[in-house]
């Protein structure tokens, strides 16, 4: 019984290390925020991390009644070995909507 529970726990712990992690939005100044998305172990290298981070930033600004204004993006170019996992970081501002 103990072995089953132990191995189940180890399996779940191992799989959780493979998950995509999101950090943010983190304040980085007045109305400026940073969001990072990082793939876990065994990445395929073609995860849409930048698009996902931009989408999260847009949803965050929408929740404030504002729109996203992109300041900067950065993607980890690889190679994806020894803990150097795929990662995308987006810096953005939430600005007031303008009438067109």
Domain count within the chain: 1
Judge whether residue 32 has pLDDT over 80.
yes
73 located within any domain = yes
10 located within any domain = no
Average per-residue pLDDT in the chain?
A: 79
pLDDT of residue 66: 95
Judge whether residue 38 has pLDDT over 50.
yes
Share of the chain above pLDDT 90, in %: 44
3 located within any domain = no
40 located within any domain = yes
- The DSSP-derived string for 26-88 is EE-STTEEEEEEE--SS--S---HHHHHHHHHHHHHHHTTEEEEEEEEEE------TT---EE
55 located within any domain = yes
80 located within any domain = yes
Confidence of residue 79 (pLDDT cuts 50, 70, 90): confident
9 located within any domain = no
pLDDT of residue 11: 46
Domain residue limits at 64: 19-96
14 located within any domain = no
């Amino acid at each position: 019984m103990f072995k089953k529970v132990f191995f189940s726990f180890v399996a779940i712990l191992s799989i959780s290390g493979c998950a995509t992690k999101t950090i943010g939005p983190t304040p980085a100044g007045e109305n400026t925020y940073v969001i990072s998305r990082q793939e876990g172990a065994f990445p395929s290298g073609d995860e849409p991390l930048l698009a996902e981070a931009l989408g999260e930033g847009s949803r965050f600004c929408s929740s404030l009644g504002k729109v996203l204004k992109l300041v900067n993006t950065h993607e980890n170019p690889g190679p994806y070995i020894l803990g150097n996992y795929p990662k995308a970081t987006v810096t953005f501002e939430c600005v007031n909507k303008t009438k067109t």
